[in-house]
Chains A and B, each alone.
Chain A
Amino acid sequence: MAEQKQILIVDDEAMIRRLLASTLKRAGYDVVQAAHGEQAWAWLTENRPDAMVTDIDMPKMTGEELCLRIQEEIPDRTFPIFISTSKTAIEHRQWSRKMDTVAFIEKPMSMRKFVEDLKRALADRPAQAPEHAET
């Protein structure tokens, strides 16, 4: 069996995080959870996920701030970012335009659809190097 792909989940709502985690685990992914952008960034300084799904409205560091920071400080990023938001994608168009491989998932998100999207996005990608896949 191939190395498990690792997904970073960033959401301040524990229930959503928990559901995402259990769903993804059942779909065969390894999961890392962060309650807000700052926690996620702390993890990202040492590690690289195979994909990241993040909420926007979060304390300490919002999803937008996190994404912009990643764009700035990890220019060689290859992992796709899924942004889950209650707001429409149009509101985030301006800043998200600067970023590659960003997809919006409107809340309430359908787990089944998200897992399909995730699978498609990661289809031809090898898992991240094991040294990044700690935790």
Chain B
Amino acid sequence: MIAAALIVIVALSALLLNALLQQREARMRDQGVELLRVLGALSLAELAPESGRSAVLRGLSLRNDMAYATITATNGQTVAESTGTGVIVPDWTPPSGPSEWFGERTISSSANRDTMVEFFAPLLTDGELAAHLRIGYRKATLASLLDRSNLPLLATLAFIVFLLVPAFYFLVRREVRPLAVAAKQLDQAISEQRMPTFDINPNGEFGQFVARFNQFVEYANARVAQVESENERVITSTKLLSYRKDRVLRVLESLPDAVLVMNDSGGISVANQRLESLLGVDVPTQSTDQSYDWCTQPIVRQFLSQCRHRATRRYLPDPMEFRLDDREGQTFTVSAYPIFAGKEGASSGCVVLIRDTTQQTIARSSRAEFVAHVAHELKTPLNVLSMYSEALQTADPDDNETIVEASNVIEDEVKRLSALISNMLSLTKIEMGSMDLDKRRVRVNDLLSDAFDVARHSRGADELEFKLDLPSTLGALDVDKDLLRIVLNNLLSNAVKYNDPGGTVTLRARETDTELVIDVSDTGIGIGPDDLANVFEKFYRSDSDDVRDRSGHGLGLALARDIVELHNGTLTVSSEIGSGTTFTLTLFRHMHEVRDVG
């Protein structure tokens, strides 16, 4: 800025000096020409008398810029002259023709320090050229201007410059100051990494610029905020989407079934890892393959092909059950469900589920087995009844033996049938969870004594010895009396049924603060180790001939255990072939306390 100011000052000074120079030169020319015209009117004799000294020339006051005045004869001889101090008159070459008698020439010679400007004119005597009058001036130079005579001018110039420079400086400074502030504020904004705004209010165009700039920044800030919030929303929704996708995939992986999602073209777009554990098939990832070669199980491959062919017709194959050679005993079911998309409910591919249905198959077959068992167990006593009633009908009225036997058998079988049916109903009720316990306070002593009496008077009890071993202090217990009586009757009737003639049936009870333990023992045929493990299974009957010889339907113990467990008690058995069997029934007095302890 200062440099610019200086340049302007220098340029102004140069222009001023140049104007001065030209003015001086013009004045010099006017003076020179005027002198020549005045002096040329005089004769040579008047100018330069014979006496030799020219008063006219001498009379010319040689000013600072006039260097010399001289009269040179046509032969080149100086007729008269007047010179300034230190000035040597340059040589003169007479002009060749009258056209060059008047003139002006500039002489730079080494003889004089200054460049000379010489004006010359002819001096005539009787119309003849007699000599030339020459007046030389020093050519005005910059240095000559700075001499003392020009001091006031220079002082004026210096004063103007003196006044101009600070004025100019302050002017420029005033204009530039807001720019500097703006630059500083910009720097600060950059260092703080924020959008800049100008906190200044200058006048003029820069002021307008600042206002517009601030407006622009405001607009830009608003846009940035908008973009940022949009970005944030996008990030949030992306995160949400990714979370949901992750969740869906996790759910897919948590399913117990193998899931394959088939798209419209038959490619598999999603599959969970269960396929691998279920069928030992490598899971395809984003497979567009439509031959399903990755699936090493031909049945599944075939099913997938059917799905692909039928998917477009919105008619998928029916679920199919299959077994695998290398998975003995396991059954699987593969099924397909259409995926509906869009408002029209157009189908876009399907979901294929492969499920391990072994349990269902087992349940189904065990249900069928149960029904078969029940049918068999019902049919057997019916057969016996039918045959004995025929025997009774056809018996000789005197054949008392046959009549009594048939009547007894019929009575026994009807009882057996009735027991079987009620046991089966109770068992089914318990297994369905619909058996309500009617718990009441019961005197254990009475309950056990009653059951013991029933057993002692049952068929086949005559040949046995009965022992009842009850402490007189037995308390009361909250139980379902009817159900517990079934348990005791079943255990005691087994003890009678599987006893040997002359054997003993013992009913023993003991109690502690927390539990009541009831033992039902016999000294009969006993149960072998293989049978012992299955003795509580429904319809389980030993293959032992001793057992088979005694009627039974294989439900009594299963029902007994279910009832005991319904009371949160336990029913266990210990036995030895040939020595007898003991069933131990344990009921807890305060179930919750005992459970906590246990």
Identify the A interface with B (CB < 8 A): 12-16, 18-19, 22-23, 35-36, 39, 57, 59-60, 86, 107-112
Indicate if the CB atoms of A110 and B390 lie closer than 8 Å.
yes
Whether A107 and B383, one on each chain, are in contact in the complex, defined by CB atoms closer than 8 angstroms, is yes
Of B152-160, B545-553, B560-568, the stretch lying at the interface with chain A is: B545-553
The stretch among B224-232, B374-382, B458-466 that forms the contact with chain A is: B374-382
A19 and B387: CB pair below 8 A? yes
* Chain B contact surface mostly: helix
Interface residues of B (CB under 8 A from A): 376, 379-380, 382-388, 390-391, 394, 402, 405, 409, 412-413, 541, 543, 545, 548-551
A86-B379, A108-B383 given; name 8 further pairs at CB < 8 Å. A15-B413, A23-B391, A35-B545, A39-B545, A59-B548, A108-B382, A108-B387, A110-B387
Select from chain B the residue with minimum beta-carbon distance to A86: B379
For residue B550, which residues in chain A have a CB less than 8 angstroms away from its CB?
14
Contact indicator A15/B551 (Cβ below 8 Å): yes
A87–chain B nearest beta-carbon distance, Å:
10
Contact B543 A60 (CB under 8 A): yes
Asked if B551 and A86 make an inter-chain contact with CB atoms under 8 angstroms apart, the answer reads no
Chain B proximity of A110: nearest CB distance (Å): 6
Q: Which residues of A contact B548 (CB under 8 A)?
A: 12, 14, 35-36, 59
**Which of B386, B390, B394, B402 neighbours the largest number of chain A CB atoms within 10 Å of its CB?**
B390
**Cβ of A107 and Cβ of B379 under 8 Å apart?**
yes
Contact B383 A22 (CB under 8 A): no
Q: Which residues of B contact A22 (CB under 8 A)?
A: 402, 405
Q: Are A19 and B379 in contact (CB under 8 A)?
A: no
Report whether B384 and A16 are in contact in the complex, using a CB–CB cutoff of 8 Å. yes
Q: Is the CB of A86 within 8 A of B376?
A: yes
Residues of B within 8 A of A12 (CB): 548
Across the two chains, which residue of chain B brings its CB closest to A12? B548
- Determine how close the nearest CB of chain A comes to the CB of B376; give it in whole angstroms: 7
In the bound complex, do residue A19 and residue B551 qualify as a contact, i.e. CB atoms below 8 Å apart?
no
Residues of B close to A13: CB separation below 8 A: 380, 383-384
Q: Are B383 and A86 in contact (CB under 8 A)?
A: yes
Partner of B387, one of A16, A39, A59, A86: A16
- Decide: A35 and B549 in contact? CB cutoff 8 A: yes
Q: Which of B383, B384, B402 has most A Cβ within 10 Å?
A: B383
Q: Judging by beta carbons under 8 Å apart, are B390 and A112 in contact?
A: yes
Q: How far is the CB of A119 from chain B (nearest CB, A)?
A: 16
Closest 7 CB pairs of A and B: A108-B386, A59-B543, A108-B383, A15-B384, A107-B383, A86-B379, A60-B543
